[in-house]
Chains A and B, each alone.
Chain A
């Protein structure tokens, strides 16, 4: 089994394996990012209760009945925004379009929170590895 030329630290084939694994690792960062964005839920809460749910990858809109009238939530192109609101200063509307997990749109006068939660509702929840 003794191979005299086997003293070299890395052969060409070793280098190929290493390069392939580096590529795979780089690709996994992209994959993780893509999965995290495609699998995010939009949750709208009014006065502390969840009143509406959506997903960033499914265009939708909803007019939520709130204290001062209605708040309109819209999901389009993988982003979510409050497009209309019956409130004095429209901070929520001016927050604009959001798309990252953890982002929050708040309308204080109407006690309304729209947030982007991690995970997708189709998958089982509460499992730790």
Chain B
């Protein structure tokens, strides 16, 4: 069912993508942010690449590996931040996969990435609203979270587009 895990080459590529996502996740956690859960979402590049090179299931796998292993490395496993990353990262992967299935080539990496980062923010709102705080404080966070999602989503989509274009040129058989 999971095509990427049926060949040695696929396993190796998925491992590579997970490692890239993990490295970006840890790198981003080192950058000081005014709010603990404010994220540019760099690691989403790996999820997006897995979605293009393989498919929906592989994209979710890469997102899950990154969040769980990344939280172990940054020491935030099972913290509120972990919950936000887990729910946000998984839902973003699912929405991007669904959008690609529905829209096909009409949506490029930038559009998918923006949908992913918007989903991440929406999930954060829900988690924060029900677990941590009241509606008023969530509303006051909305502008900065959405602005970050807009800028981060665009940047991530642009990077993924560049990488896919380069891969297509040097490795036509990847089907990117």
Q: A120 to B136, alpha carbons, bound, how many Å?
A: 8
Chain B residues touching A, majority SS: helix
Report whether B80 and A129 are in contact in the complex, using a CB–CB cutoff of 8 Å.
yes
CB distance B139 to A11 under 8 Å? no
- Interface size of A in residues (CB-CB distance below 8 Å): 36
| Other-chain contact of B110, A7, A9, A122, A129 (Cβ < 8 Å) | A9
A3 close to B (CB within 8 Å): yes
Within 8 A of A (CB), among B17-67: 35-37, 52
The A interface is mostly helix, strand or loop, or mixed, namely helix
State how many angstroms separate the Cβ of B152 from the closest Cβ of chain A: 11
Contacts A/B (CB < 8 Å), 18 sampled? A2-B168, A6-B108, A9-B161, A10-B108, A10-B111, A14-B107, A29-B143, A31-B139, A31-B142, A32-B140, A32-B143, A34-B139, A35-B139, A35-B140, A39-B136, A123-B137, A127-B137, A129-B80
**B interface list, Cβ under 8 A from A:** 35-37, 52, 80, 103-108, 110-111, 114-115, 118, 128, 132-137, 139-143, 146-147, 149-150, 153-154, 157-158, 161, 165, 168, 172, 175-176
